[in-house]
């Protein structure tokens, strides 16, 4: 109980202008009629994702971040092939630190297991991390500067990040972006919100099914979506419906066929041979449910 009270009282100072944290997020997506290039065949892509984040306050300046992400995607990798399941489980272990009234930082270690979860071996485990420095320019404006990196089946991946968090004085308009990975722009009308978001990052999965015994999948779709959101229980439970477009990048390579290094969207030493046809972009829908903890409201409840 003591840690929960400390979390409510001190976490707002650690996150700056952002007055909430999303404790739990669950989503289901369906991509329709993604065509294989050079053929008349297509595949649907179904996805399920969930994310849990639980910060634990260690002191007035330090918060330990823990949690986990899980995702599952199902699609055909070749025309007329059976559907393949791609699973990923990521642990989140990190530390958020306040250095001064203006500067804070977050460092998170992200070990993960990503494969079809059949015949699991050490090749299914990968390691990632990100570090972000935050500059609180004003009460409603934060700048972010960071770096994300991970080991993947295709090699080492890294990308610098630059971002901003802004909330208008009337608290209706919000921008939350860490490019080139994620961005969200939205406007709230009381109990409803409309917005636009973007997501794009490279991931990989080892495949151990009989017909794909020595292959891996590089998944790096770029997703753009507009959404409508219903805000319930004093904006603590958010129900979101999205419609958007995804680039549907799911490339198959032989295990061990790697590039030297990838920096953001730039490949170095990439002599790999792709084994499946490109999958074209298509429309997708997604439904999300989010449990959001608002610090300001919780503090007022404690005072009452």
Q: 87 or 4, which is more confident? A: 87
CA dist 220 to 30, 194, 200, 204, Å? 16, 26, 7, 8
Q: Which of 198, 127, 126, 131 is nearest to 159 (CA)?
A: 131
* CA–CA distance, 243 with 287 (Å, rounded to integer): 9
pLDDT-based confidence at 210, cuts 50/70/90? low
Instruction: Give 62-95 as a DSSP string.
Output: EEEEEEEEEEEEEEESSTTPPEEEEEEEEEEEEE
The answer to whether 76 and 83 have CB atoms below 8 angstroms apart is yes
Domains in the chain, number? 1
Please say if the pLDDT value at position 4 is more than 70.
no
66-121 pLDDT tens trace: 999 999 999 999 999 999 999 999 999 999 999 999 999 999 999 999 999 988 88
136-167 pLDDT tens trace: 999 899 999 999 999 999 999 999 999 999 99
Q: CB neighbours of 45 closer than 8 A, spacing ≥ 6?
A: 29, 30, 31, 34, 73, 74, 75, 248, 250, 284
Query: How many degrees, rounded to 5, is the angle at CA 244 between CA 19 and CA 171?
Result: 20
Q: Look up the CATH number of the domain holding residue 73.
A: 2.40.160
| pTM for this entry | 0.88
CA dist 166 to 141, 184, 209, Å? 5, 11, 46
Q: Which tokens sit at 272? A: 């790999």
3 state DSSP class of 140: coil
Query: How many degrees, rounded to 5, is the angle at CA 80 between CA 76 and CA 84?
Result: 25
Query: For residue 277, what is the DSSP state?
Result: P
Average pLDDT over residues 27-44: 96
- pLDDT for the residue numbered 214: 80
Query: How many degrees, rounded to 5, is the angle at CA 245 between CA 241 and CA 246?
Result: 110
Task: Residue 23: give the domain boundaries.
Answer: 2-303
* CA–CA distance, 244 with 181 (Å, rounded to integer): 17
* CA–CA distance, 286 with 225 (Å, rounded to integer): 9
Please say if the pLDDT value at position 297 is more than 60.
no
Q: CB neighbours of 229 closer than 8 A, spacing ≥ 6?
A: 186, 192, 193, 194, 195, 238, 239, 240, 241
Query: For residue 190, what is the DSSP state?
Result: T
Q: Which of 123, 95, 128 is nearest to 112 (CA)?
A: 128
The answer to whether 279 and 36 have CB atoms below 8 angstroms apart is yes
The answer to whether 197 and 182 have CB atoms below 8 angstroms apart is yes
The answer to whether 158 and 171 have CB atoms below 8 angstroms apart is no
249-278 pLDDT tens trace: 999 999 999 999 999 888 899 999 999 999
């Amino acid at each position: 109980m003591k840690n929960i009270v400390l979390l409510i009282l001190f976490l707002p100072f650690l996150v700056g202008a952002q007055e909430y944290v999303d404790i739990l997020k669950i989503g289901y997506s369906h991509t329709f009629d993604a065509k294989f290039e050079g053929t008349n065949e297509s595949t649907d892509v179904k996805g399920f994702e969930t994310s849990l984040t639980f910060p634990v306050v260690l002191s007035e300046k330090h918060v330990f971040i823990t949690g986990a992400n899980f995702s599952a995607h199902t699609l055909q990798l070749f025309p007329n092939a059976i559907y393949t399941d791609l699973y990923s489980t990521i642990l989140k272990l990190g530390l958020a630190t306040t250095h001064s009234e203006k500067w804070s930082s977050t460092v998170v270690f992200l070990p993960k297991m990503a494969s079809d979860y059949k015949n699991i071996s050490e090749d299914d485990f990968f390691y990632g991390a990100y570090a972000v420095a935050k500059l609180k320019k004003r009460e409603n404006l934060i700048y972010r500067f960071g770096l994300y990196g991970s080991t993947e089946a295709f090699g080492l991946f890294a990308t610098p990040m630059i971002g901003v968090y802004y909330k208008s004085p009337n608290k209706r308009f919000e921008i939350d972006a860490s490019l080139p990975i994620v961005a969200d722009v939205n406007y709230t009308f009381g109990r409803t919100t409309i917005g636009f978001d973007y997501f794009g990052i490279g991931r990989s999965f080892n495949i151990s099914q009989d017909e794909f015994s020595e292959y891996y999948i590089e998944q790096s779709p770029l997703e753009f979506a507009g959404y409508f959101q219903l805000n319930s229980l004093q904006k603590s439970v958010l129900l979101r419906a999205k419609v958007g477009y995804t680039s549907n990048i799911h490339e198959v390579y032989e295990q061990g066929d790697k590039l030297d290094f990838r920096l953001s969207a730039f490949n170095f030493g990439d002599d790999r041979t792709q084994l499946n046809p490109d999958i074209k972009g298509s429309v997708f829908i997604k439904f999300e449910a989010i449990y959001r903890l608002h610090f300001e409201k919780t503090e007022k409840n404690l005072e009452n």
